[in-house]
Amino acid sequence: MYSSLMEEYDAFKAKNLSLNMARGKPSPEQLDLSMDLLNKIESLNVKDSIDIRNYGGLDGLTEMKELFAQLLQVDTNEVIVGGNSSLSLMHDTISRALLKGVVDSDAPWVKAPKVKFLCPSPGYDRHFAICEMYDIEMITIDMLDDGPDMDQVEELVRNDDTIKGIWCVPKYSNPEGTTYSDEVVDRLANMETKAKDFRIFWDDAYTVHHLTDNPPILKSILKACKDAGNPNRVFIFASTSKVTFPGSGVAVMAASEENISFTKKLLGVQTIGADKINQLRHVHFLKDAAHVKHHMKKHAEIVKPKFDLVLNKLESELGKEGIASWSKPEGGYFISLNTLDGCAAEVVKLASAAGVTLTGAGATYPYGKDPRDRNIRIAPTFPGLTELEAAMDVFCLCVKLASIKKLLEQ
Amino acid sequence: MYSSLMEEYDAFKAKNLSLNMARGKPSPEQLDLSMDLLNKIESLNVKDSIDIRNYGGLDGLTEMKELFAQLLQVDTNEVIVGGNSSLSLMHDTISRALLKGVVDSDAPWVKAPKVKFLCPSPGYDRHFAICEMYDIEMITIDMLDDGPDMDQVEELVRNDDTIKGIWCVPKYSNPEGTTYSDEVVDRLANMETKAKDFRIFWDDAYTVHHLTDNPPILKSILKACKDAGNPNRVFIFASTSKVTFPGSGVAVMAASEENISFTKKLLGVQTIGADKINQLRHVHFLKDAAHVKHHMKKHAEIVKPKFDLVLNKLESELGKEGIASWSKPEGGYFISLNTLDGCAAEVVKLASAAGVTLTGAGATYPYGKDPRDRNIRIAPTFPGLTELEAAMDVFCLCVKLASIKKLLEQ
């Protein structure tokens, strides 16, 4: 069986494919949905009656704040509109906390001998990269079906005041597509933390990126934190990067008014405020939450068939083999697949040699080290359906090859 | 005389004026020069053959790098294109240096018990605010006619390894309008520094903002640093904020290739790259250095009469009184005025009470403390000519009043 699969594999190799399922990028067809953003901007009138071409507006246009407030279930004065990248907002929030602390800190985080973050995993490699760059020690937390393993989380934060934060992608998590349950949200909001300046970094990147008509509802973390008497515990982040144009979208940070006012004081030293003209373009184009929903349905029409193709391929090729399991997300940008232990790196290597680029094995874990070497993140949105099918054929074959090799070794 | 001036002052007060000469903001007429930036973008083609609507392009579009390279006399691979704010680039460079050090550092700056910066003053309050926020001790350096007092600078940096940087606005300095001489540039590039990771923060904000047809030439600091064997000594910053739209422009950082490559490695963790569509708009609109020059002439046509009005008023009202001296800049955004010692705060207070807002007294010095309480920054660009004339009448009157009061006290 191995040699017959190897023949198939060599045939793929001979085709000199060049396919990419590595990064969560919208496809050109999705980007085409937002081309009206590039039209001439007809009116510069805004509610704040300022000249939006000039300086000013540190926390963003009122209209943009209102739209984000709707989408994130927060109040307008709990919002700071950022530039084109929520990643930057997250990075900057951490670098500010390191150098200046947060609302409830006794000292800048960098003054402590050690700072640790909890990292539910598999998770998002760019979150982990920020921690790694700043020597923030990462503690892996298992992801369960309804979010991070809260028993682990509660136990750790109750006893260790060097644990200052946790990374969360609460809706359609990267890469598993998990939406946190109400219970998880409540436990995060209510848990006792030894560090009084503990912060939840709530990266709500896929909050409107549904694949079904009846999407799961994510409980409001800010409301839960307020109800728990911990209003300052959470920083929420999001952006329009995968709604309009990645790289030319608008990012946002939301938090308690006290957090916002603390942040604005520091932010006023860092910047003159984000691009207001681009914000107005987005307001004109996206209008309100109802219209965003409508717009995201068009995205789903393009994206859903790609997810279906991947899931069907996995089912037909690997469904009965017992050598892999995978997530069936209702939204977001990824499918998470677990091979047999010790096979992920080999699958990625085999696929790469046959011209199919996958996210690096291990990337979904802190320090790039998947302890069981089994998790692979599949990003189906960018390639066309034909390419995707070819890539999935190679991928499934590689899973089989690596699994047989592993089983033969045992 | 005092009482007759007080009558005049009371008459102004009765007018309930509301005039502002505080911040260096372009006027609406200047912003009108760039309205074509808001037109429909007709082509997304770029040299890099990437889809500029999608992710990617950490250091900017090639076209934008080429334009900035021309303007700043550097090479294309010595450039990183930023977002909409050079202030952010400067802030981020400092916060990165604090947390990670720079190319030649043994350790992050924040690990040292003390970090100091040299601050040629009068200078730019937002530079000083960054230092103050991060507890970087500021040492005031006198500004001479051709730049900072290099005897002071050389003496200090030779003997103190906690001095890690110097703020410079080398062309049409804020607020005096001074352009650094070749000798100053060479001495900065060549001086011996005890800190091997000493950095010049070269904020070339007004590099194309001339008021004359024969502008002074600023010697290339990067070339001077290379010639001196200190290629990594300088970070250059600039933006199109006062060329196109403040808040929606494009910022840039330039430095040696080693500095750029070090910075890009860290920057890749912070951001997915700046807004490429806005960069392309700017490339289409600004074209090349020759066209920028042409565009800036139109700015000068609007701005120059305002500078002339201020200078003429100062000359006619205060020229023979011996109670004030002021700069006569050939470019930039400000006129710097020195009153008699101990009068600046009083002038600003009097003007404010009569409805004329000036930059706060002391703002041009570290910690907001002008040791001689004499420097006032006049920002003539934003108001219309009629308003500016009224504001200057009030201002000159306030200078006279404060001076007489001070002289009577003595």
- Whether B257 and B336 share a structural domain: no
Task: Determine the pLDDT at residue A23.
Answer: 87
Task: Determine the pLDDT at residue B1.
Answer: 87
Task: Determine the pLDDT at residue B404.
Answer: 96
Nearest C-alpha of chain A: how many angstroms from B136?
Answer: 12
Task: Determine the pLDDT at residue A64.
Answer: 98
Distance CA B251, CA B205 (A): 10
- Shortest CB distance from A247 goes to which of B55, B87, B110? B55
- Whether A76 and A196 share a structural domain: yes
Distance CA B379, CA B228 (A): 37
Q: Which of A265, A286, A307 is the last residue of a domain?
A: A286
pLDDT, one tens digit per residue, over B40-64 is 999 999 999 899 999 999 999 999 9
Q: State whether residue B408 sits within 8 Å of chain A by CB.
A: no
Q: Do B342 and B373 touch, CB atoms closer than 8 A?
A: yes
- Whether A351 and A240 share a structural domain: no
Q: Which residues of B149-170 are buried (b: 16+ CB within 10 A; e: fewer)?
A: ebebbbebbeebbebbbbbbbb
- Shortest CB distance from B271 goes to which of A54, A85, A245? A85
Window A:120-139, CB contacts with B under 8 Å? 126, 129-130, 133-134
Q: Which of A270, A286, A302 is the last residue of a domain?
A: A286
B30 located within any domain: no
Is it the case that residue A81 has pLDDT exceeding 90? yes
- Whether A11 and A150 share a structural domain: no
Q: Which two tokens stand for residue A130?
A: 């920020």
pLDDT category, B141, cuts 50, 70, 90? very high
- What is the total count of domains within chain B? 2
Task: Determine the pLDDT at residue A391.
Answer: 97
Q: What is the CATH number of the domain that holds B110?
A: 3.40.640.10
A2: phi > 0 → left, psi -120 to 50 → alpha, else beta; which? alpha
The answer to whether the CB atoms of B247 and A53 lie below 8 A apart is: yes
Q: A56: nearest CA in chain B?
A: B247
Q: How far is CA B261 from CA B79, B102, B275, in A?
A: 10, 11, 20
- Whether B232 and B280 share a structural domain: yes
Residues of A in contact with B54 (CB under 8 A): 25-26, 28, 31, 245-247
Q: Which two tokens stand for residue A18?
A: 């060049």
- Whether B62 and B154 share a structural domain: yes
Q: Which two tokens stand for residue A357?
A: 């680029």
A107 located within any domain: yes
Residues of B in contact with A92 (CB under 8 A): 270
Distance CA A193, CA A172 (A): 26
- Whether B10 and B72 share a structural domain: no
Q: State whether residue A107 sits within 8 Å of chain B by CB.
A: no
A31 located within any domain: no
Task: Determine the pLDDT at residue B410.
Answer: 80
Is it the case that residue B111 has pLDDT exceeding 90? yes
Range of the domain at A340: 2-24+292-409
| Helix runs in B211-256, H state only | 221-227
Residues of B in contact with A40 (CB under 8 A): 38-40
Q: What is the mean pLDDT of residues B368-382?
A: 97
Whose tokens are 């409001």? That residue is A220
- Whether B139 and B246 share a structural domain: yes
To test the contact with chain A by mutation, choose from B271, B278, B382 the residue with the greatest count of A C-beta atoms within 10 A, namely B271
B35 located within any domain: no
Nearest C-alpha of chain B: how many angstroms from A274?
Answer: 6
Is it the case that residue B322 has pLDDT exceeding 90? yes
- Shortest CB distance from B53 goes to which of A248, A270, A272? A248
Q: Which two tokens stand for residue B70?
A: 């021309």
Q: What is the mean pLDDT of residues B19-27?
A: 94
Is A116 in a helix, a strand, or coil? strand
- Whether B275 and B360 share a structural domain: no
**DSSP-derived secondary structure letter, A311:** H
Task: Determine the pLDDT at residue B196.
Answer: 97
pLDDT category, B20, cuts 50, 70, 90? very high
A201 located within any domain: yes
Closest CA to A110 of A194, A192, A197, A189: A197
Nearest C-alpha of chain A: how many angstroms from B102?
Answer: 14
Task: Determine the pLDDT at residue B348.
Answer: 98
- Whether B277 and B329 share a structural domain: no
Task: Determine the pLDDT at residue B239.
Answer: 98
Q: State whether residue B20 sits within 8 Å of chain A by CB.
A: no
To test the contact with chain A by mutation, choose from B35, B48, B54 the residue with the greatest count of A C-beta atoms within 10 A, namely B54
pLDDT, one tens digit per residue, over B117-138 is 999 999 999 999 999 999 999 9
Q: Which of A235, A256, A286 is the last residue of a domain?
A: A286
pLDDT category, A136, cuts 50, 70, 90? very high
Task: Determine the pLDDT at residue B64.
Answer: 98
Q: Would you say the ipTM is above 0.85?
A: yes
Task: Determine the pLDDT at residue A410.
Answer: 81
The answer to whether the CB atoms of A54 and B25 lie below 8 A apart is: yes
B34 located within any domain: no
- Shortest CB distance from A247 goes to which of B34, B54, B269? B54
- Whether B185 and B66 share a structural domain: yes
Task: Determine the pLDDT at residue A322.
Answer: 94
- Shortest CB distance from B275 goes to which of A54, A133, A275? A275
Q: State whether residue B39 sits within 8 Å of chain A by CB.
A: yes
Q: What is the mean pLDDT of residues A313-340?
A: 97
Distance CA B384, CA A114 (A): 56
Q: State whether residue A26 sits within 8 Å of chain B by CB.
A: yes
Orientation angle between helical segments A86-100 and A125-133, nearest 10 degrees: 30
Q: B36: nearest CA in chain A?
A: A40
Q: Which two tokens stand for residue B307?
A: 């500078």
Please give the mean pLDDT across all residues of chain B. 97
Q: What is the CATH number of the domain that holds A308?
A: 3.90.1150.10
- Shortest CB distance from A271 goes to which of B39, B85, B271? B85
pLDDT category, A311, cuts 50, 70, 90? very high
Backbone φ and ψ of A164, nearest 5°: -105, -10
Is B167 in a helix, a strand, or coil? strand
Closest CA to A202 of A285, A278, A89: A89
- Whether B261 and B299 share a structural domain: no
Is it the case that residue B23 has pLDDT exceeding 90? no
Task: Determine the pLDDT at residue A344.
Answer: 98
Is it the case that residue B352 has pLDDT exceeding 90? yes
Is B284 in a helix, a strand, or coil? helix
Q: What is the mean pLDDT of residues A87-113?
A: 97
Q: Which two tokens stand for residue A82?
A: 């950022």
Q: What is the mean pLDDT of residues A51-76?
A: 97
| Helix runs in B107-232, H state only | 125-133, 150-159, 182-190, 221-227
Is it the case that residue B4 has pLDDT exceeding 90? yes
Distance CA B202, CA B223 (A): 13
